[in-house]
Structure 1
Amino acid sequence: MTATITSYRDLFANVRKRPRMWLIREDFACVVAFIEGCNQANAGTLLSGFQPWLVTQASGLDNHVWWSIVAHLTHPTGPKALDNMDGDLDARAVETLFDLLDEFLELRDEHDGLNRIFTAHGE
């Protein structure tokens, strides 16, 4: 089977469908590392606006890194350390991350999307 990747949204959808094709493990920490690696390979531009957008989704948490906000949105009272999640919470955090990332990338790719993200964060 051949996977055609035309965008990072496509890539992340493929990783979500077949994580073991792309990752050593399917846990939240490994998915976060993969996504952060993609971001670093793009000089930090891939996730530009992601943390501020997540802050608006969470109604706060300005001082948290993006993956910590995703963990909070998955389970507000659960552990926020990448290596301190039970299996169920970890799996839900992975699903939440892929859902949020897809929603963010779709919005960011819209006309004036990044500007709208930063404007909403500043309000």
Structure 2
Amino acid sequence: MTGLGAGLDKHFADRAWANAPEVADPDDLTEREYLRLFAARPGMYIGYTTLHGVTSYLNGYDQAARRHGGSGLDGFREWLIANHVGEESCVSWWGLIQWIALPDRDAVGPFTPEEELRVLDVLFDLLDKFLAQRESVI
């Protein structure tokens, strides 16, 4: 594999050693633990790492989790608005992440590899903070 996906996969593989939880039984993982595993190695789950692939996977995960009684990403968009945007917005959670990660960027045109990496890093960091906070109140 070459290009952007290969570079992002290497970045997240390098990051995995420090951030991935230990897994004894995958069926016993919390949503946070499962999504931390995904964040550590997204290419393993979706083929190769792209922002579009990651957000599509997370949207599918959210729908499946909710369908089967889990919380999924319920409240993530509202948490982003309350903690990082500060004003009501009609933008999706993935649009908010892009704005938070790259507030000075014009919304037109594709991301550079560096911008895509920045958005993914911010996404995974904020998602983990959201899930950690949600776990602490359960």
TM-score, normalised to structure 1, is 0.78
Identity %: 24
Is 1:70 the counterpart of 2:97? The answer is yes
**Structure with the larger helix share:** 2
Q: Assess if the C-alpha contact under 8 Å between 1:55 and 1:62 holds in 2.
A: yes
**Greater relative contact order (Cα 8 A, min sep 6): structure 1 or 2?**
1
Q: Which residue of 2 aligns with 1:97?
A: 123
Question: Which amino acid is the alignment partner of residue 15 of structure 1?
Answer: F
Q: Which residue of 2 aligns with 1:116?
A: none
Gap regions ≥5 residues in structure 2: 1-21
Root-mean-square deviation (Å): 2.2
TM-score, normalised to structure 2, is 0.70
Q: Could you tell me how far 1:61 is from its partner in structure 2?
A: 4.9
Count of aligned pairs? 110
After TM superposition, where is structure 1 displaced by more than 3 Å over at least 4 residues in a row? 2-5
Question: Which amino acid is the alignment partner of residue 94 of structure 2?
Answer: W
Q: Could you tell me how far 1:42 is from its partner in structure 2?
A: 1.9
